Amino acid sequence: MILEEAPSGDVAQTVKNLFVFFLYLLAAFLLARRLIYIEPMTQESIIAIALAMILPDLARFSFVMVGKPQGPQRVASGESGAFARKSGPVERILLFLTNAVKLAGFFVASKLMPSQGALLVMGSEVVFNFFVHLGVISAAPYQLRSTNRTSIILMNISGFVLVSCCIRGIAPLATATLFFSMVVTYWLSRYDIDLLPPLRE
């Protein structure tokens, strides 16, 4: 049984959650408005749609980030009790920075260029998953279908490279389409949707 925190801690956590929710809601609204006015079937519109697809899932991870305990929580274990793992200062700084860059990326995508915003989002994901892979950031709250982060990091790096090529004008429409396909593949696998039908015996 986890001991209840002080009411002030609950209020502070609620304020943090509401603030993050408001920022992502605003980013989603601005990105949706950008999709209305952007020229269709261009590399920027394709990347904007891809960002709109992954925004809810990345926002959910951000709520986990701000909800991580910053102090030890006692868990009943006999008379002495045990303490659950808490996030250290380095982990909290990394979570704050990666979350801030990711949010900035969505706002850049909605106000400036979607490709530039996607570069920030993918860059923050590369850094975040790299430190999760190293164990600096606890992987427990961010479990995916596979516990091996190598494939996730490679996918993030691939997305970063594709968006960089799009910005530099290297086959922009093709690289944007590949980036969109990668996002769709991630979205389908994230929600346990089989990409191929099962083989019949």
Weakest-pLDDT range from 71-80, 98-107, 165-174:
71-80
- The β-bridge partners of 75 are 2, 82
* Residue carrying the six token digits 């490709």: 115
Q: Is the predicted pLDDT of residue 45 greater than 60, yes or no?
A: yes
CA dihedral 187, 191, 197, 201 (to 10 degrees): 150
- pTM score: 0.75
Confidence of residue 23 (pLDDT cuts 50, 70, 90): confident
Which helix (H) or strand (E) is 75 found in, with range? strand 74-75
Domain residue spans of the chain:
7-190
Please state the rounded mean pLDDT for residues 171-189: 87
Q: How far is CA 187 from CA 34, 97, 151, in A?
A: 22, 24, 15
Determine the Cα–Cα distance for residues 169 and 42; give it in Å rounded to an integer. Answer: 13
